[in-house]
């Protein structure tokens, strides 16, 4: 697989899509492990509109080898080098009847194990006893996210919408988007495919309208260690998986 074009697109556009990363059997194996997991844990969130698992790879450690196949690790290492590690993971299941949507935003925080007053870090948020903080801009500029699609995803079942090149503009508030100059792109991705994006890329997702599932594994990666007693709440070394 020649990844040169994908590397260039990530740098210039802020995202890329690579299909056929996971086979149908591999996807079904991942889904089976999710179905077998203990859903009573506090990091599992269930409602009519959403089923989500926070700290996904930490809560279901036996799934890590199914996720980080040799093919996926090769893509990561060739695109970004060998010094990146997992800093956050979430599993999203957007059910067929879901009316849930997400407005345009950037991913501006990292998940950490505690709240500490550290210069350059803030503001802080807490969700389901999970601490998150906005780090300095250089943290966010170097990070990347991989979204593994476990279903075919398009405009009708909540595919991610993005604004190309918005990751190059620093902190970019959604209310200041100039639609006269910006273009919206739907990141349609096949089952078993991945979308790679920079966290500063403005992105959103729409309501489901075609009664089709949209199950996605969202994994964030960084290459900067934390200091002053602060740790990532979920740190996984790819070399050890």
Reported as a single tens digit per residue, the pLDDT across 90-144 is 998 876 665 668 899 999 999 999 999 899 899 999 877 789 999 999 989 999 9
How many residues in the chain?
241
Indicate the pLDDT class of residue 48, thresholds 50, 70 and 90: low
C-alpha 56/C-alpha 239 separation (Å) is 19
Residues of the chain with pLDDT > 90: what percent? Answer: 74
Phi, psi (5° rounding) for residue 50?
Answer: -160, 140
Give the model's confidence band at 13: pLDDT under 50 very low, under 70 low, under 90 confident, else very high. Answer: very high
149, HSE (Cβ side, Cα atoms, 13 Å)? 25
Q: What integer best gives the mean pLDDT of the chain?
A: 91
What pLDDT shows up at residue 130? 84
Residue 46 is predicted with a pLDDT of 63
Check residue 97 and give its pLDDT.
63
Domain that holds residue 137: 4-240
Rounded Cα–Cα distance for residues 230 and 115 (Å): 8
Q: pLDDT digits over 119-132, tens only? A: 989 999 987 778 99
**In terms of pLDDT, which residue wins out, 88 or 37?**
88
Distances in Å between the Cα of 114 and the Cα atoms of 31, 61, 224, 236 are 31, 22, 17, 18
The CATH number that applies at residue 217 is 2.60.120.620
Q: How far apart are CA 130 and CA 125, in angstroms?
A: 8
Q: For residue range 149-178, what is the model confidence (pLDDT) as tens digits? A: 999 999 988 899 999 999 999 999 999 999
Q: Which of 23-32, 63-72, 209-218 shows the lowest per-residue confidence on average (mean pLDDT)?
A: 209-218
Residues 63 and 53: beta-carbon distance below 8 Å: no
Query: In whole angstroms, what is the distance from residue 82 CA to residue 116 CA?
Result: 29
E strand map for the chain: 15-18, 44-46, 51-54, 85-94, 102-105, 110-112, 124-127, 130-133, 144-149, 160-162, 185-186, 194-197, 203-205, 214-222, 236-237
Tokens of 121: 């870090």
Phi, psi at 71, each rounded to 5°: -65, -45
Number of domains in the chain: 1
- pLDDT-derived band at 180, boundaries 50, 70, 90: very high
Q: What pLDDT does 207 receive? A: 80
For position 127, what pLDDT does the model report? 77
- How far is residue 70's CA from residue 85's CA, in Å, rounded to a whole number? 15
């Amino acid at each position: 697989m020649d990844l040169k074009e994908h590397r260039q697109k990530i740098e210039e556009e802020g995202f890329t899509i690579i299909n056929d990363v996971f086979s149908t059997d591999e996807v079904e194996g991942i889904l089976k492990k999710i179905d077998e997991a203990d859903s009573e844990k506090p990091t599992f969130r269930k409602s009519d509109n959403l089923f989500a698992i926070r700290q996904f790879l930490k809560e279901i450690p036996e799934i890590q080898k199914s996720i980080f196949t040799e093919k996926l690790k090769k893509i990561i290492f060739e695109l970004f080098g060998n010094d990146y590690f997992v800093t956050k993971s979430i599993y999203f299941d957007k059910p067929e009847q879901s009316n849930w949507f997400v407005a345009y935003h950037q991913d501006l925080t990292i998940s950490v194990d505690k709240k500490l007053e550290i210069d350059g870090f803030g503001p802080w948020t807490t969700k389901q006893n999970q601490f998150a903080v906005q780090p300095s801009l250089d943290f966010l500029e170097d990070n990347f996210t991989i979204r593994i699609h476990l279903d075919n995803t398009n405009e009708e079942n909540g595919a991610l919408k993005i604004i190309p090149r918005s990751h190059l503009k620093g902190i970019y508030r959604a209310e200041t988007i100039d639609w006269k100059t910006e273009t919206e792109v739907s990141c349609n991705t096949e089952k078993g495919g991945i979308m790679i994006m920079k966290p500063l890329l403005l992105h959103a997702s729409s309501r489901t309208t075609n009664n089709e599932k949209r199950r996605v594994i969202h994994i964030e990666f960084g290459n900067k260690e934390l200091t002053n007693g602060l740790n990532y709440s979920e740190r996984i070394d790819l070399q050890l998986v």
